[in-house]
Amino acid sequence: MLELSPQHGQESSDKAIVAEHLCKVFNVTKGILRRTKTQVVAVKDVSFEVNYGELFGLVGPNGAGKTTTIKLLTTMLIPTSGNATVLGLDIQKDVTKIRERIGIVLGGERGLYTRVSAIDNLRYFADLYGVPVNIQKKRIKELLQFMGLWDRARDRVETYSKGMKQRLHLARGLIHDPQLIFMDEPTIGLDPEIAKETRNMIKELVEKGKTVLLTTHYMFEADELCKRVAIIRNGEIVALDTPSGLKKYVMDASVVEVEGFGITEKEVARFREVPEVLAVSADLSENKQVLKIQTPKGSEIIAEVQEILKNSRIYDIKIKEPTLEDAYLRLVEGSAK
């Protein structure tokens, strides 16, 4: 049984996170002989709040600014402008105090010492986080049992599967029993079963009273886990609401889902030019291609669909109610239409 302390309730702020107009601009140098400097705006004017005990989702496509936002809040980056408080502490002034109280799960194949065992990885980070020696042994065992890694605890991490490494990342993020945990795409690259297990573990952490800020680009994951979701695009938050609140955003439209073969990018682009089409997404990589068209016209648009796709094979056309995924697509990709 994993013993974690619930919320401490003695914080100087009634919010776990308060981000106020956070901006991060990176200077990028190009060329060797003729060096030119350009500026890349990773995050611009991001403001949001997270309550204690909440599982808050930050959702957006790759390069939207999710990881940069997490790194700013976890003191791994210094903001260009704006500021934030984490557990009532200033991210620029109270760096060490924040680091003592938060956990970070960056995930992926990297970020672990692969030539040593899971126990050695956890023991090392327990020391760096200042976990008392008399607590370390018990905590490491409990965490590895909770993550289902105890049987392989003494094996080198390089022999672990992707899912096992991900669970070890989670264990490492919890080694010092933090009040607030930041998780950056914790299920990316995992097979569906392991991803489901990981989501269940995250839910359990919140049930134990932890506050979690999670980034993902899977909308169904945010829908299943998060109390509130912020959608970030090009470094800006474009929507922030509960999953059901976000779904309302697309209630004005239906989704026409087309399954076919031979659909080209050019044809997808033609849909984007149709005035009644609000957003289009297409998965053209597989043999069975799927095109999703958001439109208030519903079935009335089918004739136009057939006309645009006359050179492709259409297997099926369905009219569906919009999901949170569709709301996300509209918010993230709608402007590209």
Partner 1 sequence: MPQTLRVIYSAFRMAMLHWIADPQWVIPNVIAPFVFTFVALTLFKEATGPFGLYAVLGGGMMGMWGNTLYSSGFAIEFEKWQGTLEEVVATPSNLLHVIAGKSISNALFGLTNMAAILLIASLVFRVPLDVANPILFALSIVLTLISVSALGLIFASAFVLTRSAQVFTNGLEFPIYVISGSMFPIGLLPFWVHPASYILGPTWGIEAIRIAAGQENVSLTFWLNVGVMLLITLAYVALAAFLFKKVETKSRRDGTLGQA
**Residues making contact with partner 1 (CB under 8 A):** 24, 26-27, 68, 71, 74-78, 96-97, 99-100, 104, 106, 108, 110-116, 120, 123-125, 127-130, 156, 172
d(CA 201, CA 197): 6
Query: 77 vs 331, which CB is nearer to partner 1?
Result: 77
* Minimum distance, C-beta of residue 125 to partner 1, in the bound complex (Å): 7
CB 288 within 8 A of CB 261: yes
Q: How far is the CB of 77 from partner 1 (least distance, A)?
A: 6
C-beta closer to partner 1: residue 92 or 311: 92
Smallest distance from the beta carbon of 203 to partner 1, in angstroms?
24
The secondary structure of residue 117, as a DSSP letter, is B
Nearest CB to partner 1, comparing residues 111 and 209: 111
CA distance 286 to 139: 45
Query: Shortest gap between Cβ of 45 and partner 1 (angstroms)?
Result: 18
Yes or no: say if 217 and 260 are a contact pair by the CB < 8 Å rule.
no
Residue 123 or 210 having the CB closest to partner 1: 123
- Pick between residue 181 and residue 222 the one whose CB is nearest to partner 1: 181
**Inter-CA distances, 194 with 24, 138, 164, 190, Å:** 34, 25, 9, 6
Answer yes or no: are the C-beta atoms of 60 and 213 closer than 8 Å.
no
Q: At 128, list the tokens.
A: 């760096």
Element (H, E) at 279: strand 279-283
Q: State which residue, 130 or 275, has the beta carbon closest to partner 1.
A: 130
Q: Give the strand pairing for 313-320 and 102-105.
A: unpaired
Minimal distance, residue 223 CB to partner 1, in Å: 29
Minimum CB distance to partner 1, residue 109 (Å) = 8
Question: Using the 8-state DSSP alphabet, how is residue 164 labeled?
Answer: H
Handedness of CA 332, 335, 336, 337 (dihedral sign): positive
In whole angstroms, how close is the CB of 129 to partner 1 at the nearest point? 5
Cα–Cα distance between 208 and 205 in angstroms, integer?
5
Nearer residue to partner 1 within complex by CB, 143 or 256: 143
Strand partners, 261: 313
Residue 136 and residue 92 in contact, taking contact as beta carbons nearer than 8 Å:
no
